[in-house]
Structure 1
Amino acid sequence: MDLAILASMDVRDLEVFLAVAKRLNFTRAGEDVHLSQPSVSIRVRQLEQELGVRLFEQLGKKIALTDAGKLLEPHARRVVAAVDDARRAIEEYQGLASGVLCIGASTTPGMYLVPRIIAEFKRKHPKVVVHLGIKNTRQVEEGILSNDFDLGFVGGHLIGKEVEATRWMIDELILIMPPDHPLAARKQIRMRELTKERFVSRERGSATRAVVEEYLHKLQVEVETVMELSNPEAVKGAVRSGLGVAFMSKFAVETEVRAGALVAKRVKEIEISREMKIVYRKDKHLSKAMSAFIETARSLR
């Protein structure tokens, strides 16, 4: 597709098109781009008229991209990304006295590590606005690729070839339990004892869950999962209530372990660690704000 044709279009229409292509729902897309559902429909219709093709088709109660829509999507993404980069280049020219930085983080770094980085960054650059979106690792990668996030902080393995990933820090996953659990008083826990325990787990798509499952599978250890929860605070609450034990990041349980609300143990024969990474699009211009944020993150690890 000729990029000159796309460049002549209203970039806002392309942003709306990408939101609908992502959500496959006009109402939810409108929420993403802060427009009403009728306004979204009008902008999509205008874009279709300008291109002379249908971009979406109705399949029962759902909508789907047509072949033309699928063809347009990657080109539209590049145009929108280029415009965003141009805006950021101007912000960079103006220095760090202003600007916006959108950070995506998977749950563990997003809840327990990145807020500390933002606080230090804002101390040095108070006029730069920082937005933080907390998702699971897969969703952070999607946000990086769609240019919703400038930088991502994740604890899992990314699969996109368009994503640059650099090492940030090492995280250790440890076994947590309530203080009155039979294993809490033990000096040593062996791997085979895990098969007798009930486990509380994170949801599918969580990097914590993926890493734990990978390690246990390699060691041929099968455990009983009694509950799946979508964030670490809920997992800790379930463990405190006696519903089971769980493997969690050491960063996520520091406060509860110090307070005696939870007990953390290492399991003999099992040492679960993972690399946390800073990620961004390979073709994205690293602005002064992005570079300064990365530098701040590295200084606090």
Structure 2
Amino acid sequence: MEIRAIRTFTTIVKYGNFLKAAEALNYSQPTITLHIKHLEEEIGEKLLERGKILRMTEAGRLFYERATDLLREYDRLDKTLEDLEGGSAGLIRIGVSEPTASLEFPSIIADFVQAHPKVEISLHIADANTLSGMLFHDQIDFAICGAPEVSMENLFKPLYYDDIVLLVPNSHPLSEKAIAEIHDLRNETILFTPHNCPIRIKIEQIIVETIGSNYKKLEISNSMAHKHFVQAGLGVSLFTRTANSFALPGTKIMEIKGIEAAPVIGLLKKNNTIYGKASTHLLEMIDTYFSEKNALSKQETSI
């Protein structure tokens, strides 16, 4: 049953004759007649009584009631598919790790949502290893995160390399120094991300090589909670400059020598994935954001 034949039938009913319906649909009158003939043959019932006054049969009235609802839903679907093809509708499932999720992604999403108000966004915040598994099992479309330990056949494209800074309470003796060194961490309580975090592993290896085991550690799975624990005087934190882009009252961000680590933030996606227009636009916005951040970082370094 062709949708155009159904539309032809409802248009004939609307205008009351074949000629006006043909003009409204920009069809020839024989085409209109053929549409109705095929429709009646397919249904197995006569829909219209021809005469001086065109009348619907009982089957025609029943079919007309259902046909108008069907055409309304079809037009809605057609418009939705048109929006989807044009990139103005759809659902994008994104995985994001901290601190990017809290400190950087909101501004990116805000610009995107303004440009694509009909597109739905679903954000999943987790660590890189978890997001890699979600991507593999098709629970997200792509992720912005650190490099996972196991790629699970996913592709990782670096976007930005961060560096490590030290966060201390204002009351801590270290806060009086211009630049801290690894030796200054002797006997300190250091706040760490989880034991399987690649950057935490590298930082701790450097610390052990320098001061041995002469330090305490407090492991906190949520990296964005570190500054609150530092604020409470529970230790010092070694984490990314991005995470410490602002300090809480009572805390101080410090440079530290000797931590040669460059945490990476990148795009994690499946191999050979073809994205829709909306997703492609969002990925372009993300790429532009981190390109500008890289340029700004290089500019600050050269000053």
TM-score > 0.5 by shorter chain: yes
Residues 215 and 129 (structure 1), Cα distance of their counterparts in 2 relative to 1, 3 Å cut: farther
Report the Cα offset of residue 286 of structure 1: 2.4
Q: How does 1:20-35 map to 2 (within 5 A)?
A: none
Structural RMSD (CA): 2.3
| Post-superposition CA distance 1:256-288 (Å, at most 9, x none) | 2xx653211122222332221111111422222
Please name the residue that 2:103 is paired with. 112
Match of 1:179 among 162, 167, 170: 170
**1:238 aligns to 2:229 (yes or no):** yes
Q: Is the contact made by 1:92 and 1:289 (CA closer than 8 Å) also made in structure 2?
A: no
Question: Secondary structure at 1:110's aligned position in 2?
Answer: helix
Cα distance in structure 2, aligned partners of 1:215 and 1:294: 35
Select 1:148's aligned residue among 110, 120, 139: 139
Relative to structure 1, the CA distance from residue 100 to residue 245 in structure 2 (aligned partners, 3 Å threshold; closer, same or farther) is same
1:79 aligned residue: none
Call closer, same or farther: CA 1:220–1:179 in 2, change over 3 Å: closer
Counterpart position of 2:287? 298
After TM superposition, the score normalised by the length of structure 2 is 0.63
Deviation of the 1:183 alpha carbon: 0.3
* Paired residues for 1:1-301 under 5 Å: 94-216=85-207, 221-222=212-213, 224-256=215-247, 260-301=249-290
Rounded to whole Å, the distance in 2 between the matches of 1:92 and 1:161 is: 33
How far is 1:108 from its partner? 1.6
Instruction: Quote the Cα distance in structure 2 between the aligned partners of 1:95 and 1:217.
Output: 55
Question: CA 1:223–1:131 in structure 2 vs 1: closer, same or farther (change >3 Å)?
Answer: farther
Provide closer, same or farther for how the CA distance between residues 202 and 133 of structure 1 changes in structure 2, counting only shifts above 3 A. Answer: same
TM-superposed deviation, 1:220: 7.0
Taking structure 1 as the reference length, the TM-score comes to 0.63
Q: Which blocks of at least 5 consecutive residues in structure 1 are unaligned?
A: 1-89
Deviations, residues 237-264 of structure 1 (Å, cap 9, x unaligned): 11111111011221222222xx653211
Distance 1:226 1:214, change over 3 A: closer
The CA deviation string for residues 111-162 of structure 1, in whole angstroms up to 9 with x for no partner, is 2122221112112212111111101111011111111111111123442251
CA distance in 2, matches of 1:174, 1:196: 19
**Structure 1 Cα separation of the partners of residues 180 and 108 of structure 2:** 35
Equivalent AA in structure 1 for residue 215 of structure 2: E
| Cα distance in 1, alignment partners of residues 151 and 82 from structure 2 | 28
Unaligned runs of 5+ in 2: 1-80, 291-303
Deviation of 1:195 after TM superposition, in Å, equals: 2.4
Count the aligned residue pairs.
210
CA distance in 1, matches of 2:154, 2:82: 23
Corresponding residue SS for 1:252: coil
Name the stretch that deviates more: 260-269 or 217-226.
217-226
1:16 maps to which residue? Answer: none
Give the % identical residues: 22
